[in-house]
Amino acid sequence: MKYFIVTYGCQMNVHESEKIAGILEKLGYSPAERREDADIIVFNTCAIREGAEDRVLGNVGNLKKLKKKNKDLIIAVCGCMTQKERTATNLLNTFPFIDIVIGTFNLPKLGYYIEAVKKGRELESERSGKQLELFDEGEIDETLPYKRTSGDNAWVNIMQGCNNFCTYCIVPYVKGREKSRKEENILKEIKDIIAEGKYKKITLLGQNVNSYGKDLVPPVSFSKLLRDICLLDGDFTVSFMTSHPKDLTDDVIDAIAEEDKIEKFIHLPAQSGNNRILKLMNRSYTREKYLDIIKKIRQKIPNCRITSDFIVGFPTETEEEFNDTCSLVSEVKYDSIFAFKYSPREGTVASKMEGQVPEEIKSERVNKLLALEKKLQKENYI
Ligand code: 5AD
Ligand code: SF4
């Protein structure tokens, strides 16, 4: 019995796939080299931009042939796309050969559904039958095994969800509100990872790691978590992503500066360099505040690598406002950046805004920004 997992999207999804692999191996499956050899194929999907969804739809569609050849093949779809009402229903209508659609919060039940499909070969859908369960976020599962697949790096999830509601972003809708894991559970997981002796790097994951622990009773700050991890014995480094500029506090910058075990690296998405657009995005900081944080990082951690994400063509963005993003990129001199064309996501505030920017202009801007980044990179290395 073999499995094949297809993963889309961010590191959190890569890590989630390690959990899926853990569940499948516990059920007796082993990894297949190619999807043609698999008895079960799991798509771990991403909903952050339309392009990601289109890729999933294309690839799931291609499985029809495989399913025709192998009637026993089980096809499961999970991850962020399945949390969206319409998408989940569409998936099932368009691709009736999908056996399981399971929401992100219900992953622990994957084994149960696989058994149910095997028994009855009947269509099981977490979404169509039990919609309310979707947003019943419940406790973070601490019992499922991970099958770590990222070499000497071990991902460690420290929290789920996001409370920020940036107006372009689907994440708060598909991942629910912020929920932190208990510090003791995180420390235990890391101790176990170190004891295995295979891992040199620990990467803490969360949509907004800087607000870690605010929801715990009593609250725990992210800098305390970092410092406590550094107190663990062993030869390892720790890094984390993603940081939100509004929550990156001095105590975290100090911890990075002072603790040898913390990597001198911060991914600090700015999204735009223009204050009107930042406000429309609901990012809760200005260009000036962002630059102040960068200045502080550079002062306290002189060799810190800094990277960022940018969205171009947000509704109503003018050429001058886009130029502010370019000037911010030139000013900060990032180690690298990711640039995305704004992609309207159903249900978000920005998708309903007037003044959506035409696709050609978005493409033009993203190309300009990436060309600028390339030019700056060259200058950095000379
Ligand atoms: N359109 C384009 N890019 C987006 N991102 C998030 N939502 C959207 C969207 N609707 C980008 C942001 C974020 C990164 C993970 O994806 O830059 O930091
Ligand atoms: Fe999305 Fe903003 Fe939350 Fe990041 S902080 S996941 S961009 S809502």
SS (H, E, C) 90-143: HHHHHCCCCCEEECHHHHHHHHHHHHHHHHHCCCEEHHHHCHHHHHCCCCCCCC
Mean pLDDT of the 126-147 span:
58
Q: What is the pLDDT of residue 138?
A: 61
Ligand 2 mean position, distance from CA 163 (Å): 8
Give the domain-ending residue among 240, 263, 286. Answer: 263
If asked whether residues 236 and 297 sit together in one domain, one would say: no
Q: What is the pLDDT of residue 137?
A: 58
Residue 123, pLDDT above cutoff 60: no
> pLDDT class for 115, splitting at 50, 70, 90?
confident
Mean pLDDT of the 46-52 span:
91
Ligand 1 mean position, distance from CA 342 (Å): 7
Ligand 1 mean position, distance from CA 166 (Å): 9
If asked whether residues 341 and 229 sit together in one domain, one would say: no
Q: What is the pLDDT of residue 366?
A: 98
Least confident stretch, 8-17, 253-262, 357-366: 8-17
Number of CB atoms found within 10 A of residue 341's CB: 20
Least confident stretch, 60-69, 136-145, 265-274, 366-375: 136-145
Residue 126, pLDDT above cutoff 80: no
**Spatial contact of 152 and 200, defined as CB atoms under 8 Å apart:** yes
Q: What is the pLDDT of residue 93?
A: 83
β-strand pairing of 159-160 with 179-180: antiparallel
Label residue 282 left, alpha or beta by phi (over 0 means left) and psi (-120 to 50 means alpha): left
Ligand 2 mean position, distance from CA 192 (Å): 30
Mean pLDDT of the 268-292 span:
98
User: Could you give the count of Cα atoms lying within 13 Å of 65 in the half-sphere of its Cβ?
Assistant: 5
Protein residue with its CA nearest to atom 2 in ligand 2: 166
Q: What is the pLDDT of residue 139?
A: 67
Range of the domain at 344: 267-382
In a domain, 291, yes or no: yes
Give the domain-ending residue among 132, 165, 185. Answer: 132
Residue 133, pLDDT above cutoff 60: no
If asked whether residues 111 and 8 sit together in one domain, one would say: yes
Q: What is the pLDDT of residue 331?
A: 96
Going from the C-alpha of 202 to that of each of 9, 156, 310, 322, the distances in angstroms are: 20, 7, 26, 36
% of the chain with per-residue pLDDT over 70: 94
Spatial separation of the C-alpha atoms in residues 348 and 341, rounded to whole Å: 16
If asked whether residues 27 and 91 sit together in one domain, one would say: yes
If asked whether residues 361 and 296 sit together in one domain, one would say: yes
For a mutational test of ligand 1's pocket, the pick from 166, 209, 340, i.e. the residue with the most ligand atoms closer than 8 A to its C-beta, is 340
Protein residue with its CA nearest to atom 2 in ligand 1: 342
Which CATH number belongs to the domain containing residue 106 in this structure?
3.40.50.12160
Mean pLDDT of the 108-120 span:
83
367's enclosing H/E stretch is helix 359-381
- Token pair listed for 329: 């990129």
What number does the ligand 2 atom closest to the CA of 162 have? 3
pLDDT digits (tens, 9 = 90+) for 290-330: 999 999 999 999 999 999 999 999 999 999 999 999 999 99
Q: What is the pLDDT of residue 132?
A: 30
What number does the ligand 1 atom closest to the CA of 168 have? 10
**Spatial contact of 151 and 128, defined as CB atoms under 8 Å apart:** no
Q: What is the pLDDT of residue 112?
A: 85
Q: What is the pLDDT of residue 101?
A: 87
Q: Does the CB atom of residue 236 touch ligand 1 within 6 A?
A: no
Residue 75, pLDDT above cutoff 80: yes
pLDDT digits (tens, 9 = 90+) for 211-252: 999 999 999 999 999 999 999 999 999 999 999 999 999 999
Question: pTM of the predicted model, to two decimals?
Answer: 0.92
**Spatial contact of 175 and 160, defined as CB atoms under 8 Å apart:** yes
If asked whether residues 274 and 257 sit together in one domain, one would say: no
Mean pLDDT of the 357-366 span:
98
Residue 379, pLDDT above cutoff 60: yes
Q: Per the omega criterion (within 30 degrees of 0), is the bond before 167 cis?
A: no
As for how many domains the chain has, the answer is 3
205's enclosing H/E stretch is strand 201-205
Q: Does the CB atom of residue 173 touch ligand 1 within 6 A?
A: no
Which CATH number belongs to the domain containing residue 216 in this structure?
3.30.750.210
In a domain, 145, yes or no: no
Residue 254, pLDDT above cutoff 60: yes
- Sign of the alpha-carbon dihedral angle for 364, 368, 369, 374: positive
Protein residue with its CA nearest to atom 16 in ligand 1: 48
Which CATH number belongs to the domain containing residue 275 in this structure?
3.30.750.200
Ligand 1 mean position, distance from CA 49 (Å): 7
